[in-house]
Every structure is written in structure tokens, then in C-alpha cells.
Structure 1
């Protein structure tokens, strides 16, 4: 299910800011349902092996280095950011996962500042450049199961230039993060990550809710009135063997690597 596709600018510099519940599946879901996105920023840990690094580079994936990758590695971001500045200046579209890592919990986590450094760095080099930020929400019915229904929801464009005020840059970064986070919490199923998280999740799961009906689910979470649906015969279970047969190679690779992936 894809919603809000009309919010994607047909031209101009764009940064798609996406939540990250399901590893390398997330950029694939966005890429095949987006006419604009051409370049992707992903965690540097995926680039450790030379062969994989070359393959990911051929797909226009670029590494973002974090503190956990080592302090010395952070300097590598300069070259990556410079490439991003050039791409945006050339009216291209980028995609980034600002939560920094993938996590299957149904919540929007704190956004890192990396995306703002890219946006404001590009505007510092070219103040006349207009850059739009599109918040994006991904919600899987069950991110641990293949195949699974998924909702991809594009939010309302945010003009980054409205937040570029060099004299008060730190407060503007916070304001921009707050605006984006607020949208992302409506674009994906969001359970606040507090002491009630597990209790709410258990109720939603027991009620057999359709998590991809994001607006309804978020309304239930806010009101604490949870109404599910009757369990029906899952037709997908009958055709699943044929789906797996059609995608046997990626499925074998996934089963081989699944146990090695750290949530």
C-alpha cells in the first residue's frame, strides 16, 4: 500500500527522511515505489567487505559513519557529505534513515543530526538552492515474516530553507527535527516507547489489528480503545510456497544471514 505519492516533487532537490524498521528491505521498498529517489545513505557497517562495498556503490548507496563505527571513521563522512551537496545542487533526490539503525519496535525513535548537516551544508554552499524534505513512514504488518503487507506513506513536503538561519543554527536544527518527527509519528504506526509500550503492543496484536491501516492504529493507540478484526483464513499461506519458489535465491540468502543480523 502506497499513500501520499502526490507529495513527491517532480523536480528539484529532495531529501526523503524515512523510519527504519526492517534493515535493507526498507530502501528497496522505497526505491521501487518512488520515481525520484536515486541515491541512498545507509549505515557504514554494510560496507565492510570490499566486494559488498563495490556492489552497494554500484546501486548508488553511500555509507554514513557513526560514533559506534569508531571516532577515526567519522572523518570519512566529509567526502560523503560533499558528494551529497553536489547531488542536491544538481537537483537530485537522496534518501536517508535518520534513526541511525533499524529496529522492529513500532515506534519513531530520536533522529540524528546527520541529515541536517547535509541539508544546511548544501545551503551554505548555495543559499539560492531550494531543498524539500519529505518525511516517510514505513509500517509492516509483520517485519519478521516473508511475505508481509507493508504501508509506505509519503508526508507533506517541508521547505528546508525556512529553517536555515546560521545565527541560531542549533535551535533551528532542533525545530526541524521536531517538525519531521511529528509528521513521521502520523505516517507510521507509532507506540510511544515508555513503560506502557509492551502492554499496548500486546493488546493490538491480540486484537489482530491491521498495522498497515496506520491512521486507524494510531487513533487506537491515542484513545486506548482497541478494536480488531476477526481472524480469517490467510490466503497468503496457500500461495506462499509459490511466492518463495519465485524468489528462491534471495530467500536462501536471507535465511543464511538472518541469524547473524543484530537487531
Structure 2
């Protein structure tokens, strides 16, 4: 039953992402081992969109995800998240008494690895839209220690991956995942009893993440660098080239994206006018209640995924009542094609 629900949600969400994002890239995803247990380690920017994107495009196996526990408090979303194999992880801000529950989660992850499953988590242990890899927490190494205690011979692989959004809080947007080369956990076992060399492992994952996504080092003037990169019109979906600029190296010349402010704004007005009954509830009532900018994309996408089909159905019903199905069908199809063109080509 759960596999059926997962596959249904995956197809639905993937179709939604196709209509929501201008471009989605998954570079190196084919290299993730299908026959081995895998821990995927990603930088975290855009709240629940980050795991949902991987869930929609995963190839090797159906992954499990460690997700902040507070999102499970909403009963309407709880079943949805569990259907996508999301597991709650508890933080100090959730209450010191809740931290003990993480032992159950760690034990469950160890069991999943013993079955050859894939688990995705965000080692920064928080999300932020800043183009910067933050210090990694010890949580993922503790999970690995639990897994090794259960099975000292565990043949597990780790895959760091960098998430890159063009402009994560805006619509429509572009996104690129860059998956690093898998490496074996056994490379970081040493001493008597094959003890996990946690610090060395954290350092490697951090270093790889800084190459797989844009990373403005903490000591730099973040605002100045962001302004300079945007002035140059860099493609944030090409982190290798952007990081070369940050390091002062002569990187490849990055072509500016052609923008036409007047026509872009005019198209915005047309899009909003044609979709006013769908767009206005978001702009007037839902968007102002989003409490963190990192959740803006998540709530916008989920709203569109649920409300857009309702809007098209209501439009068809009204037009069919006024002019018949022969009038309603072409009108709705043309609107869908227009909206898709807006997402794919709005500069």
C-alpha cells in the first residue's frame, strides 16, 4: 500500500515540478549505487523542496529522508510526508525531552542500511538561502556509528551532493543537483575495532559540498560578493565556475542571461490576469503568512500542486455552462499551454 502511495505521489510531484520549474538538472545521479546501502548528504537551502525534488527524480532506490520533526505536527501533511518516506528528526529547539527519540530514529536508519536502503539527510542540520555551506553537525556520523554497531561489516557508501537554485524564493526558478562520486564508509574506519574517524569524514563531506554548490567562505563580505556575482550575471547552476570567480581564479567567461524587463513585467501582468482566481488567494492570504523565506518555495509549490487543478476544473465548468464543452476545452488547453510557456521562457 505504501509503495503504491509513494509511486503515485512521486509521479504527481514530478509532473508538478515540470510545470513549476523552468529547468531541473540532476548531474551525476546515475552514479548512485543501486545495490548498496547509501547515505546521501546534501546542503540545505529550500526547506521541503530539497527532499521532494530528489524524491521525484531518484533512480537507484526509493530513498528515506530525515526531516525536522515540527513539520509532522500538521495532521494534513503528516500522512503526505510519511507516504514519501520522511522520518522525523528532533532538535534541541523541539524540547530537550524530545532528543531521546532520536535514538529510535538512529536505530531505524541502522536497520534500513542493513536492508540496503538509501537515506538522505542534510548534515548542516538547518536550512538557509545563503550561498554558503554551513558547519556540519555530528548527527550523520552518529547515525553511521549506530549502523556500524549493528553491523561492523556494513558495506555502505556516502554520496555528497550540492543543491543549486538560481533564485530559490522566486517563481519560476531553475535548480541543479550535482552528485559527487560515491565513496565507501570503510575508508574512514581505523584503529582497533574499526572505529569511525568522524572528524576526518566530516571534513571530507564539507570540502566536497563546497565544490558542488556555490560557497562564499564565512570570512568574506557576503553581501558584496553576492552583489558582484549578480552584477556579472553568473549562472548559479554552474557552481564550479562561480567558485572559480570567488577564489580569484580566471574562470570561464559566463554569458549573461538575456533579460527584457519591460516585456517580462508585461508577461507577469498577463499571467496574473489570466489566472487571477488562482493567483490572488496565494498573493493576498497565503504568502503573507509564510514565516521563513526558506519556506516560500515549499508553500508556493504545494499550493500550486493542490489549487491549480481545482482552478482549471472550475474554469472548465464555468465556460462549459456558458458556451458548452466545445468552447471550454480549447480555452482551458490554451491557458495551460500559455502558463507552461510562461514558466519555461519567462526571462
Alpha carbons of structure 1 residues 23 and 171: separation in structure 2 relative to 1, 3 Å? same
Contact 2:145 2:196 in 1 (8 A): no
State the shift of 1:163 in Å.
1.7
2:217 paired with 1:229: no
Higher helix share: 2
Tell me the number of residue pairs that the alignment of Structure 1 and Structure 2 aligns: 259
Residue 114, structure 1, aligned to residue 144, structure 2: no
2:126, 2:237 → 1: CA distance?
A: 22
> Could you tell me whether the CA contact under 8 Å between 2:189 and 2:195 is conserved in 1?
no
Task: Report how far residue 102 of structure 1 moved.
Answer: 1.1
Looking at structure 2, the residues matched to 94 and 258 of structure 1 have their Cα atoms a distance apart, in angstroms, of 34
8 Å CA contact retained: 1:99, 1:109: yes
Contact 1:138 1:153 in 2 (8 A): yes
1: distance between equivalents of 2:30 and 2:137?
Answer: 27
Secondary structure class of the residue paired with 1:87: helix
SS in 1 for 2:104: helix
Counterpart Cα distance in 1 of 2:26 and 2:260: 22
Match of 1:256 among 282, 286, 295: 286
TM-score by length of 1: 0.87
Q: Deviations over 1:45-88 (max 9, x none)?
A: 21123343233122210011111211101011111111111110
**Match runs of 1:74-113 below 5 Å:** 74-113=99-138
Is 2:39 the partner of 1:15?
yes
Tell me the secondary structure at the aligned position of residue 220 of structure 1: helix
Q: From 83, 90, 93, give the equivalent of 1:58.
A: 83
1:189 — aligned with what? 214
1:95-151 CA-partner distances (Å, limit 9, x unpaired): 001111110000000111111111121111111221101001001010011221111
Structure 2 gaps, min length 5: 1-24, 295-347
On the 8 A contact 1:37/1:95 being kept in 2, the answer is: no
Bigger Cα Rg: 2
How far 1:257 moved relative to its partner? Answer: 5.3
CA RMSD of aligned residues (A): 2.9
Residue in structure 1 matched with residue 180 of structure 2 by the alignment: 155
**Normalized against structure 2, the TM-score is what?**
0.67
> Cα 1:6–1:59, aligned 2, differ >3 Å: closer, same or farther?
closer
